Amino acid sequence: MHFNLRRQFKENRGLFLFVVLMIGFRSAIADWNTVPTGSMNPTIIEGDRILVDKLAYDVNIPLTQRSLRRLSDPARGDIVIFDSAAADKRLVKRVIGLPGDRIELRNNQLIINNKRAAYSHAQAVHDSLQVTESLGESRHRIQIDVFNPSPMSSFGPVSIPEGFYFVMGDNRDHSADSRYYGLIPRHEIVGKANKVIVSLDYDHYYLPRHDRLLLDLL
């Protein structure tokens, strides 16, 4: 048996090395995630496969979330992927509040450290309103349900301690985020989403959406 295993390894060591390198690459350098829900509409839509930069914030030991070296910290406006212990699953949300911030939401208008976010370029899309939200240098589109606002469309204020972040979905009335699950510990964040690799249209036989191929995320 030992001889057969050794022979199999010798005959297939190229494949074995490829598998090991691929696992290490996906666990510590870059990965892709499928987005099955619309909580990040209109930025990320159902069927998007997003590229996850796992070196955006930390150098981790492969197959673990143990950081060998901290490279940077999440910035306001970053789209982060994190393994939520509170939700018991991996989530994709946008960083809204940083350590030391005071966050408040009033009728879907953000107030950060007593300063209101700016909103512009409103556009009606079906029963929703899409607007550009400006949080300092971060500008991105959000979606608000005009006729069925979330009970959490007003929230807080809440102060964020060191080592934690406040995250929200861009689809503000249809997102389970820090308003429901609480603040996100820094160690749960596994990477940053920068780009859509490919997008499959669930309503049209999973055909690719060509206009979202390699689309940069803002």
- Report, as residue numbers or ranges, the catalytic residues: 39, 93
- Residue 204 vs residues 199, 201, 207: alpha-carbon distances, Å: 12, 5, 6
End-to-end CA distance of the chain: 55
Look at the chain and count its residues: 218
- Dist. CA 60–CA 190, nearest whole Å: 9
Phi and psi at 53, nearest 5°, equal -85, 105
Rounded CA separation 88/90 (Å): 7
Rounded Cα distance, 215 and 210, in Å: 10
Q: What is the dihedral of CA 184, 190, 195, 198, to 10 degrees?
A: -110
Q: How far is CA 14 from CA 4, 19, 204, in A?
A: 17, 9, 39
Q: 76 near 96, Cβ under 8 Å?
A: yes
Are 208 and 199 in contact by the 8 Å Cβ rule? The answer is yes
